Structure 1
Amino acid sequence: MSDYLPEEVWIRNILPTLSIKTLLRCTSVCKSWYSLITSPSFISTHLNRNKQQDPPLLLLRHCSEHPRKEHFSIRHDNPTLDDYAELDFPFHSVNWYFRIVGSCNGVTQCCFSNPWPFYASIGFGFDSINHDCKVVRVTYVEDDDGFDIVPPEVELYSLSRGCWQSISYCGLQSIIPERSPQVYINGAVHWIAYDRKTNGSIRRSLIVSFNMCDELFREIFLPDSLAAQRGINIEINVFGESLCVMHDVFLSGSNQTYDMWVMEKYGVVESWTKLFAIIDYQKVYLLGFLLLSLIVVDRIFKV
């Protein structure tokens, strides 16, 4: 029996089945294995294969004050949230905590505020055409009237190129708040943004997207009732395979409502639908209940 395996056997049938930790060890075998395992095409193949087989996991985070430290753990997505792994987080911020702004293909992005006279928002996603991971950074510089210079400086980092390049020519006209949370869906990252205020006009909220394949910004309009709100009370998310936004409406006293809107057909403004509203709950109880509701409703829809 020959001990030689055809190249296509171990490339297509063996290596993609290995765990990430094992693959990292395999990169030390030889230069050809290193080039293969770290290539965008292999990473995409491994990700798609394991995405269908691996059970869903949740990332939990909390910050301790004494000492000030970030703590991250991975739990099983079940009613008891069983432990899966405790993560080492060796990074340090100029603040005492990082902010999670989004995730893509199992990678989570954290950032922290800048002490400089500018602010930035970051988005990252996957270019499925070129099998390439990309990061886009939108930076606004302070002027005499505050952080309102448009267009901003826009830079793009490509893993395959290994460097940043300016794409400020894209002409982004909207303002994305500092460290704005993002979601990745349909090959693009999305943020809640608002129009630039001109001639006394009222700023309206909207969604700005950046497509990782054609590297272009686009705008998605919100329902009128949401567009009239400032982005601080609107959160963007993904529900199933659809974009969704959650609107936090403050009422009298400590009560409030929490509305969830879903864009049933991507890019079609008329398809925005209010899925449900939670009324007269204090926020501390509301958020936990909302997360539980999303999990339950999502699973009901999949049945």
Structure 2
Amino acid sequence: MSDVFPEELLLQILVRLSVKALLLCRSVCKSWCLLISSSHFINSHIRHNHAVGNHNLLLRCFSNNQEKEIYTLHDEIDSLKTIRELVFPFDKPQGDFFTVVGCVNGLICLWDDTHELNPVTLWNPALQKSFRVPSLHYSMSDDGPLACQKLAFGFGFDALANDYKILRIAFTFAHFIKNRRIDRRPLSFLSKIGVCSADIFSLSTKSWRHINTSVPLQQLSIPVFVNGALHFLTSKDGNQFVVVSFDLNAEAFVEMACPPDAKLGTHLDQRIVASSETISLLHQRHEHLYDIWVMKKYNVAESWIRLFSIDLDMSLGWKRILGFSGNGGLMLVGSGSWVGYPIVNAIQIVDFQPLGSYCAPYAETYMETLALLQDDNTITHLQQNIGGAVQDHKRRGQEIRRVAGKRRGKSARVSLTH
């Protein structure tokens, strides 16, 4: 085929194709198969999709009626029209649904935080492939003090090393209730501050490493991946708050300032969210009133500005801010109403109203990629339609034993339009 198409021209043609078309093109000839399966081509395909904005909105929720997780793709350009529902190939965990750690380059990182081993899985829905991350066991001598852990995971891509990495943050507390090794209550409910440690998993080496540095975190928050780093919102010296970033390549923690005029408090909802190539801060100022801050220039403390405020009316139900879409729209979910101050024409509000009984809403920008295609340690999920039902068959992998334990508490129930 190189005699017909110069390799550079062939590359420029193939990177514009969908994942489904590329999988078919691998069967054309051996040279095409090797090219499409190469790390160079996979990265070129990802860079092209980023450059042309070839992405959709991924919505996840748990259906209380169907008792399953539902993942759907929506067109961000065409009024969030539903494109399709993704086939979710995993068994329901003990706590009903997985925690979505993050979604990067078409890979969705899932964490079963109700399992004793805290298993983490990387899943590529476009390829129907997944990789079960080796569990990082917590060991303690039998004659030592009883301890529990609070965990948080972050997921991102190290572009310089061409490697996907998972960061695990663990707070360890001594002298706790027997057999309660994993505690899920907020840190403010615990009487003694524990020891904070960090470990990192590399997909290229398939191994965990301990981060031998001080971890400047005093509380756990959901980390957000932006510009090659994971970002945490944490308290410092009492009621002072800072953003702590962890560079996935340098594997180092760096403090970043919060908006100086934002009066953050320990008992309010405040979160760092991704917003284009920078970070934003969702700050609950009062019971229903939120301020939306954005760092206009990444890692420049003076560039924090308050975009606008939004009042969520809970009188008709329950409403929550999910974050920003890839097109910059602020995404809301729930049955209440809202009012924005001031009226900013440049800000699009995407409001999902409930249709049924749902919980655990999650939204993230998603694009189909070939990530995991060349990894021989993955599980391939093959779907077959039998009697109208989809059955899942795993080509590789092994089951992890589950133990009896407390089920995850039910959160406020909302549903999304499809």
SS for the counterpart of 1:151 is strand
SS for the counterpart of 1:52 is helix
Tell me which residue corresponds to 1:198: none
Q: Distance in 1 between matches of 2:286 and 2:2?
A: 72
In terms of fraction of residues, the more helix-rich structure is 1
Residue 63 of structure 1 corresponds to 62
For 2:305 and 2:242, locate their aligned partners in 1 and report how far apart those are by CA, in whole Å. Answer: 16
Q: Please say if 1:141 is aligned against 2:172.
A: yes
Superposition pairs of residues 270-281 of structure 1, within 5 angstroms:
270-279=302-311, 281=313
Deviation at 1:227, TM superposition (A): 6.6
Partner of 1:98: 98
Report what 2:195 is aligned to.
Answer: 150
What letter corresponds to residue 196 of structure 2 in structure 1? P
Do the aligned partners of 2:231 and 2:243 also contact (CA within 8 Å) in 1?
yes
The percent of aligned pairs where both chains have the same amino acid is: 31
How far, CA to CA, are the matches of 1:232 and 1:40 in structure 2?
A: 44
Cα deviation, residue 42, structure 1? 2.5
Residue number among 255, 258, 264 corresponding to 1:219 in the alignment: 255
Task: Return the offset for 1:69.
Answer: 0.4
Counterparts of 1:133-282 in structure 2, within 5 Å, are 133-144=164-175, 146=190, 148-152=193-197, 154-161=198-205, 163-177=206-220, 180-195=221-236, 202-224=238-260, 226=262, 228-230=264-266, 233-251=269-287, 256-279=288-311, 281-282=313-314
Give the superposed CA RMSD.
Answer: 3.5
- CA distance change for structure 1 residues 112 and 175 in 2, over 3 Å: closer, same or farther? farther
The aligned counterpart of 1:75 is: 74
- Specify whether residues 231 and 4 from structure 1 end up closer, same or farther in structure 2 by C-alpha distance, changes over 3 A only: farther
Within 2, Cα distance between the matches of 1:34 and 1:148? 54
* Farther off after superposition, 68-77 or 165-174: 165-174
> Following TM superposition, by how much is the alpha carbon of 1:124 offset from its aligned partner in structure 2, in angstroms?
1.7
**SS of structure 1 residue aligned to 2:195:** coil
The amino acid across from 2:95 in the alignment is: N
Residue 297, structure 1, aligned to residue 346, structure 2: yes
Task: Give the Cα–Cα distance (whole angstroms) in 2 for the partners of residues 138 and 39 of structure 1.
Answer: 33
Q: 1:32 & 1:83 partners in 2: Cα distance?
A: 36
TM-score, scaled to structure 2? 0.59
Q: Which runs of 5+ in 1 are unaligned?
A: 196-200
- Cα offset, 1:86, TM superposition: 1.2
Aligned-pair distance for 1:74?
Answer: 0.5
Aligned to 2:136: none
Report SS of the residue matched to 1:58: strand
In the alignment, the residues of structure 1 paired with residue 201 and residue 247 of structure 2 have an alpha-carbon distance, to the nearest angstrom, of 14
Shift in Å at residue 245 of structure 1? Answer: 0.5
The structure 1 residue matched to 2:156, chosen from 125, 135, 157, is 125
Could you report, residue by residue, the CA deviation over 1:265-291 in whole angstroms, capped at 9, with x for unpaired residues?
Answer: 222323222221124733835748952
Contact kept? 2:312, 2:319, Cα under 8 Å:
no
